[in-house]
């Protein structure tokens, strides 16, 4: 079987992380990169070529030229959030499978279009919600599915990071400017938390009520939201982008106990009983390896576009609720 030919669109920091994983896969060949910033494209080309396997890699100033001149089997999109839509749609229409860094898109209509075009073309679209591969979240999802704490009564979801303090002047400052990113802190890192929430409980959200504290530039440094899931379970969500420390935590309260999850730990407690720190198994694949396997071997995608659409819907509802001061119901 011939190598999977992959083109890279967007050559910043995220692309370098993912490309390193793709280059480590034995049946993947990077055939071209595209970015209007020529130094970034040249730098990524040099990184890929240094590995030896892809010495003929070409760089382009835009994704249209890459699609035309390299005819890849798949495209990986690492552009800023506002610029996900066009290259994803063009790649699908060119017959390519697509991996796109999260979020799928910055608005629901574009996300729906991507899902529909992918379905019509019979192509796969994987989205970079790699928190789904965290052993703690995988185990939590399994235990909730097995009714380990009884019927779910409530969930709390918290994400706190010192993003603004840490990233001043860094390459990815654009992520926190809603005028450039299309979302700010909520839509950038907050979507990891929201996707993890919906995926782990096997549900979608039907209602959201939220408020935000913003700084003068418009960045949403704090978001608090009340969410109702499809089965009526309430969720309390808190997101802080100006925290002195870091925290990622989901706590699931059931009729017989609770499960508390961080990025690297799962603790299950029974009512009136002791707490158990659950041993975790290391992940067996990266999200990039998962994408390649889904194309070559037909294995399930870690996060297909139709599931990522549920996250986009909830993100948009939270942002709208905070803007208008009213509860927003999701269609």
Task: Please state, as a whole number, how many other Cβ atoms lie within 10 Å of the Cβ of residue 279.
Answer: 8
- pLDDT value at residue 52: 60
- pLDDT value at residue 216: 81
Dihedral angle at the C-alpha atoms of 215, 221, 226, 229, nearest 10 degrees? 130
CA 259 and chain centroid, separation: 23
- pLDDT value at residue 72: 96
Kindly state the greatest CA–CA separation across the chain: 65
- pLDDT value at residue 145: 96
φ, ψ for residue 172, nearest 5 deg: -105, 30
Residues 6+ apart with CB under 8 A from 90: 63, 64, 67
Name the CATH architecture for the domain at 4-130: 3-Layer(aba) Sandwich (3.40)
Helix, strand and coil in the chain, % to nearest 5 = 40, 25, 35
Task: Please state, as a whole number, how many other Cβ atoms lie within 10 Å of the Cβ of residue 264.
Answer: 10
Model pLDDT for residues 188-203, shown as the tens digit of each residue: 889 999 999 999 999 9
Angle (CA) 151 281 134, round 5°: 65
Q: What is the pLDDT along the chain (331 residues), one digit of tens a residue?
A: 688 999 999 998 889 999 999 988 989 999 999 999 988 888 899 888 876 665 678 899 999 999 999 999 999 999 989 999 999 999 999 999 999 999 999 999 999 999 999 999 999 999 999 999 999 999 999 999 999 999 999 999 999 988 766 555 455 567 777 777 777 888 888 999 999 999 999 999 999 999 999 888 788 889 999 999 999 999 999 999 888 888 999 999 999 999 999 999 999 999 877 899 999 988 889 999 999 999 999 999 999 999 999 999 999 999 999 999 999 999 7
Query: Rounded to whole angstroms, what are the CA distances from 8 to 5, 28, 234?
Result: 10, 12, 40
Please count the residues of the chain.
Answer: 331
Cα four-point dihedral sign 35, 36, 40, 46? positive
Model pLDDT for residues 113-151, shown as the tens digit of each residue: 999 999 999 999 999 999 999 999 999 999 999 999 999
Nearest-10 crossing angle of helices 108-121, 305-324: 170
**CATH superfamily name and code, 131-284+303-329:** Dihydrodipicolinate Reductase; domain 2 (3.30.360.10)
Label residue 3 exposed, middle or buried (CB < 10 Å: 0-12, 13-18, 19+).
middle
Task: Please state, as a whole number, how many other Cβ atoms lie within 10 Å of the Cβ of residue 295.
Answer: 20
Distance CA 256, CA 262 (A): 20
- pLDDT value at residue 127: 98
- pLDDT value at residue 122: 97
Residue ranges of the domains in the chain? 4-130, 131-284+303-329
- pLDDT value at residue 164: 66
- Model-level pTM? 0.93
Angle (CA) 234 239 243, round 5°: 145
Pairing relation of β-strands 266-270 and 152-160? unpaired
Distance CA 329, CA 89 (A): 28
List the one residue out of 295, 279, 309 whose CA is nearest residue 76.
295
């Amino acid at each position: 079987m011939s190598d999977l030919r992959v083109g890279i669109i967007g050559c910043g920091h995220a692309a370098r992380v993912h490309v390193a994983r793709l280059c480590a896969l034995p049946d993947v060949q990077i055939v071209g990169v595209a970015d209007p910033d020529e130094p970034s494209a040249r730098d990524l080309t040099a990184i890929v070529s240094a590995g030896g396997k892809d010495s003929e890699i070409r760089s382009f100033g835009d994704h249209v030229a890459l699609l035309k001149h390299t005819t890849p089997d798949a495209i990986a999109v690492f552009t800023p959030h506002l610029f996900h839509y066009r290259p994803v749609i063009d790649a699908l229409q060119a017959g390519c499978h697509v991996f796109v860094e999260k979020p799928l898109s910055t608005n629901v209509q574009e996300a729906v279009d991507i899902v529909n075009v992918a379905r019509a073309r019979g192509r796969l679209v994987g989205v970079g919600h790699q928190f789904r591969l965290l052993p703690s979240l995988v185990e939590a999802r399994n235990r909730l599915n097995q009714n380990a704490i009884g019927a779910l009564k409530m969930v709390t979801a918290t994400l706190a990071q010192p993003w603004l303090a840490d990233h001043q002047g860094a390459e990815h400052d654009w992520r926190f400017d809603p005028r450039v990113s299309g979302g700010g802190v909520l839509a950038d890192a907050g979507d990891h938390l929201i996707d993890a929430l919906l995926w782990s409980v096997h549900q979608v959200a039907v209602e959201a009520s939220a408020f935000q504290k913003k700084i003068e530039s418009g960045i949403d440094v704090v978001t608090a939201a009340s969410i109702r899931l499809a089965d009526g379970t309430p969720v309390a969500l808190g997101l802080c982008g100006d925290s002195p420390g870091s925290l990622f935590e989901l706590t699931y309260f059931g009729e017989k106990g609770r499960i508390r999850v961080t990025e690297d730990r799962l603790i299950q407690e029974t009512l009136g009983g002791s707490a158990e720190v659950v041993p975790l198994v290391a992940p067996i694949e990266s999200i990039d390896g998962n994408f390649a396997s889904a194309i070559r071997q037909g294995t399930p995608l870690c996060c297909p576009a139709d599931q990522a659409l549920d996250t986009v819907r909830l993100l948009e509802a939270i942002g709208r609720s905070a803007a208008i001061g009213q509860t927003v119901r999701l269609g």
